[in-house]
């Protein structure tokens, strides 16, 4: 999608890790177990550096902000050295502020049933079978990056929230989305709300048409409520779906149902020059933190995405994805999937994927 050209590994394979909070340290630990298994089985060795400071709610208590400066400096240093960041979940304004500080304007969430678990989806197998789409979200504008003010008028509390989209930012985002569409099926769907937000929708329509024309792709604009309906009715009709910040957030959680669980969803967040932060699409799940019940698959798959997109390590990424599929095929599940199979905890699922990835790479080496 956005990684090194022609499959060549990047010059640097430095991974900066922010374990996060809540279930973050648990799912990150599982992902790192898988990474170590990749290395032991002959895959590319990766240099790891860990950030040991707080983010999210813990940082709010200690520093007064969910995104303290040490975390920003850590990410900046990793990126300056040619590396990528693997991020565990953090609460509060953490992810929203991180995206603005690092200009991570483009979020790509692969919605691929082959890396999910179709039998855990609430939708019928014939609906989700073959789903392979990219949900692309504008990260640094819109409602989430607006400003709120509160006052009292005639004894009533009034909250006003204002936000904006600059044409330059919309064009930058939709140009990237159109390039992704060109590399796939050549079709782009852009999410708006024509009557509900006419001014913003007109801007997005104009910029979408220009981007599609520049890259030679087909482009359809769909209102957010309609595409939410269509995603659960006929998800295979879509390939690259580009959405403003708020719409993309809501659609991302909806699309997680197609692959079986929010615990299986993941993404990469990209700056214009390629600096990237990879994450799950779920939160810190404070209520189950420390109970060994979290599903680490989304964090493991975000690691595979990091290896492929930032470092061009396609063999290692494919082995991790195949290992996750092998674990599902063998009947292993975490509690959130609720399919009545062999239920294991966070740590054990990570071990099972690590064992399977070692088998995948070992078999490939023997066949070479």
Angle between helices 198-215 and 167-183 (to 10 degrees): 40
Would strands 342-343 and 332-333 be described as parallel, antiparallel, or unpaired? parallel
Q: Which of 47, 69, 119, 253 is catalytic?
A: 253
Q: Which of 97, 239, 249, 336 is catalytic?
A: 249
Are residues 142 and 157 in contact, defined by beta-carbon separation less than 8 angstroms? Answer: no
Are residues 318 and 14 in contact, defined by beta-carbon separation less than 8 angstroms? Answer: no
End-to-end CA distance of the chain: 27
Known catalytic residue: 193? Answer: yes
Tokens for 154, please give them. 């005639």
Known catalytic residue: 132? Answer: no
Known catalytic residue: 249? Answer: yes
Q: Which of 47, 225, 229, 330 is catalytic?
A: 225
Instruction: Write down the residue that tokens 């019940």 correspond to.
Output: 293
d(CA 281, CA 298): 8
d(CA 68, CA 331): 42
Q: Which of 144, 165, 247, 278 is catalytic?
A: 144
> 5: which DSSP letter?
G
Known catalytic residue: 165? Answer: no
Q: Which of 193, 210, 292, 359 is catalytic?
A: 193
In sequence order, which residues have a C-beta less than 8 Å from that of residue 100 and are 6 or more positions away?
A: 140, 145
Q: In degrees rounded to 5, what are phi and psi of residue 69?
A: -55, -35
Return the active site residues: 144, 193, 225, 249, 253
């Amino acid at each position: 999608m956005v990684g090194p050209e022609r499959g060549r590994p990047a010059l640097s394979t430095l991974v900066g890790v922010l374990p996060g909070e809540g279930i973050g340290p648990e799912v990150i630990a599982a992902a790192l177990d898988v990474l170590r298994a990749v290395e032991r089985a002959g895959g590319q060795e990766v240099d790891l550096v860990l950030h040991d400071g707080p983010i999210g709610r813990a940082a709010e208590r200690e520093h007064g902000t969910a995104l303290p400066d040490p975390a920003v400096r850590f990410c900046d240093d990793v990126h300056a050295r040619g590396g990528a960041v693997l991020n565990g979940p953090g609460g509060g304004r953490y992810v929203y502020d991180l995206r603005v500080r690092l200009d991570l304007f483009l979020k790509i969430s692969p919605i691929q049933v082959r890396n999910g678990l179709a039998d855990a989806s609430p939708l019928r197998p014939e609906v989700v079978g073959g789903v392979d789409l990219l949900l692309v979200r504008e990260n640094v504008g819109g409602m989430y990056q607006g400003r709120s003010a509160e006052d009292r008028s005639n004894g009533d509390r009034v909250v006003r929230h204002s936000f904006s989209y600059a044409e330059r930012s919309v064009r930058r985002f939709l140009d990237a989305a159109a390039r992704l569409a060109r590399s796939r099926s050549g079709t782009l769907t852009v999410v708006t709300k024509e009557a509900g937000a006419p001014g913003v929708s007109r801007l997005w329509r104009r910029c979408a048409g220009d981007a599609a024309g520049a890259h030679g792709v087909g482009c359809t604009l769909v209102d957010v409520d309609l595409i939410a309906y269509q995603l659960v009715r006929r998800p295979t009709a879509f390939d690259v779906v580009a959405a403003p910040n708020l719409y993309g957030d809501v659609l991302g959680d909806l699309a997680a149902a197609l692959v079986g669980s929010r615990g299986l969803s993941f993404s990469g967040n990209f700056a214009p020059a390629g600096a990237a932060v990879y994450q799950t699409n779920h939160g810190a799940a404070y209520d189950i933190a420390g109970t060994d019940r979290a599903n680490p698959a989304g964090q493991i798959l975000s690691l595979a995405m990091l290896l492929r997109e930032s470092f061009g390590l396609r063999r290692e990424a494919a082995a991790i994805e195949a290992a996750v599929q092998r674990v599902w095929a063998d009947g292993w599940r975490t509690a959130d999937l609720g399919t009545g199979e062999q239920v294991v905890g966070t740590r054990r699922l990570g071990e099972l994927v690590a064992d399977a990835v070692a088998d995948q790479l070992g078999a490939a080496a023997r066949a070479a």
